[in-house]
Amino acid sequence: MKRFAVIGLGNFGFHAAKTLYEDGHEVVAIDIDKLTVQAIDNFCTEAVVLDANNKDSLLTLGLDNMHGVVVAVGTKISTSILICLYLQQIGVKNVIIKALDEDHGKILERLGATKIIHPERDMAIRVSRGLSRPNVLDFIPLTKDFDLIQIGPAKEFINKSLRDLNLKAKFDVYVIAIKQMNTGKSILVPSASYVIKKNDTLIMIGKSKHIRRVKNLGHLA
């Protein structure tokens, strides 16, 4: 189980917090609006009414001990820039933050944000590529109880073959493809003799509860 905080509970932030919580993690959901915070109370570990523009208030939350902080505040660029700066000063190592445009993203990157999210742009690219370059991942029908994930290998997976790992027997999950980050190639339905490398990305499918067990091992990517 990991610990996350989500600052800003608009549509993006609400669903980010809810999904992390449903995946079995501890989630502190933060917003300045009391009604917004009340709406997420059943979908997080702790819901907090707090002005994230106040550094002293942020310091009370122990954010430096979180595995990640998602910043999804609204339409004011200055607000997210200030929060990003405060999080860096507090010592948060993993800051995932929503940008409103490319220039905003560049500023946040300069301030030390770990990952910049452009929700509308990224979804537009994903949908368009799914139309123009469809692949197997776009056509796997998943029920509510199943997950399809891309994940870096756990440390104990590295330099072992899929046969040796025997993930079907141990975790009841299937590795349906592997992306080789060093070569840019993808291997669909890898053979049992394939040896996992440090920079591989594993594409797995399985029941949500079994996928969570694999994710909880800790991974490199």
Unique residue bearing structure tokens 């009340």 = 38
In this structure, are residues 175 and 202 in contact, taking their beta carbons and an 8 Å threshold? yes
What pLDDT score does 124 carry? 82
Please calculate the CA angle 80-86-91 and round it to the nearest 5 degrees: 125
Task: List Cα–Cα distances, 134 to 2, 42, 129, 138, 189, in angstroms.
Answer: 34, 37, 7, 6, 17
Sheet of strand 185-188: strand arrangement: 146-151, 200-207, 173-180, 185-188
In this structure, are residues 148 and 177 in contact, taking their beta carbons and an 8 Å threshold? no
What pLDDT score does 68 carry? 95
What pLDDT score does 162 carry? 95
What pLDDT score does 46 carry? 96
**Cβ contacts of 143 within 8 Å, gap of 6 or more:** none
Q: Over its length of 221 residues, how does the chain's per-residue pLDDT go in tens digits?
A: 899 999 999 999 999 999 999 988 999 999 999 999 999 999 999 999 999 999 999 999 999 999 999 999 977 899 999 999 999 999 999 999 999 889 999 999 999 999 999 888 888 876 776 666 555 455 455 566 778 888 889 889 999 999 999 999 999 999 999 998 878 788 988 999 999 999 899 998 888 888 888 888 865 54
Q: Which domains does the chain have, with CATH numbers?
A: 3-122 (3.40.50.720), 137-215 (3.30.70.1450)
What pLDDT score does 197 carry? 92
In angstroms, the CA 214 to CA 113 distance is: 27
